[in-house]
């Protein structure tokens, strides 16, 4: 019998309370500062338990703005057991306002701080895939955090020079 499936994660592999608090704050701050909400409720079963977790899922949904993020190590996909941030759902009421770039930038900063290795966008729609290519995603829907951060910086520099010529 394979007992690996039933083993508890090691303590250093758990997402601690400080990190969970930062996850919640990241989503709240983004929704308030970028999307303009004065009050933000982040939904998460794991955050409500107030104990270290191996994985944390958070959701934010208000009007036509929708986020669902996963943090931790997952056995599925190509990134088996790599500490990853997964953008499972992303949608904004206003398109092409820089919200996606701003969110990914914040997730990269968070990821570096807490030792995440990859950021993955799960099942992106065709519009999202076009956006992803601009940020350095190629044939796969994930990138190492440090590579994504550099790609975002390059993209923002390109956008600045593009608008300065107009």
Q: Is pLDDT above 50 for 52?
A: yes
The domains of the chain are located at 11-161
| Backbone Cα Rg of the chain | 17
Can you tell me the mean pLDDT for 98-109? 92
Provide the phi-psi class of 7: left if phi over 0, else alpha when psi is between -120 and 50, else beta: beta
Q: Which one-letter DSSP state was computed for residue 66? A: E
> What does pLDDT average to over the chain?
85
On whether the 11-161 domain is CATH 3.40.630, my answer is yes
Distances from the Cα of 9 to the Cαs of 15, 53, 55, 56, 160, in angstroms? 10, 9, 10, 14, 45
Element (H, E) at 158: helix 145-164
Task: Give SS3 for 58.
Answer: strand
User: What is the predicted pLDDT for the residue at 108?
Assistant: 95
- pLDDT tens column, 62-95: 888 888 999 998 876 567 778 999 998 888 878 7
User: What is the predicted pLDDT for the residue at 6?
Assistant: 43
Predicted model pTM: 0.84
Beta bridge partners of residue 66, listed in sequence order: 61, 91
Element (H, E) at 99: helix 99-113
Contacts of 119 (CB under 8 A, 6+ apart): 84, 85, 86, 87, 104, 107, 108, 111, 142, 143, 145, 148
User: What is the predicted pLDDT for the residue at 7?
Assistant: 47
User: What is the predicted pLDDT for the residue at 82?
Assistant: 87
Burial state string for 23-61 with b = 16 or more CB within 10 A and e = fewer than 16 = bbebbbebbeebbebeeeebebebbeeeebbeebbbbbe
């Amino acid at each position: 019998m394979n007992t690996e499936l039933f083993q508890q994660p090691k303590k250093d592999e758990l997402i601690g309370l400080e990190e969970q608090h930062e996850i919640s704050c990241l989503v709240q701050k983004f929704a308030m500062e970028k999307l303009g909400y004065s009050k933000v409720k982040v939904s998460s079963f794991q955050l409500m338990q107030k104990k270290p977790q191996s994985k944390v899922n958070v959701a934010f949904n208000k009007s036509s703005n929708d986020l669902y993020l996963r943090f931790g190590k997952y056995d599925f996909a190509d990134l088996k057991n790599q500490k990853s941030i997964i953008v499972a759902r992303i949608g904004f009421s206003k398109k092409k306002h820089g919200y996606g770039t701003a969110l990914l930038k914040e997730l990269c900063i968070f990821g570096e701080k807490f030792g995440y290795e990859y950021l993955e966008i799960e099942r992106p729609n065709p519009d999202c895939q076009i956006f992803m290519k601009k940020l350095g995603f190629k044939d796969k829907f994930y990138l190492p955090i440090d590579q994504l951060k550099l790609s975002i910086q390059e993209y923002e520099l390109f956008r600045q020079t593009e608008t300065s010529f107009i």
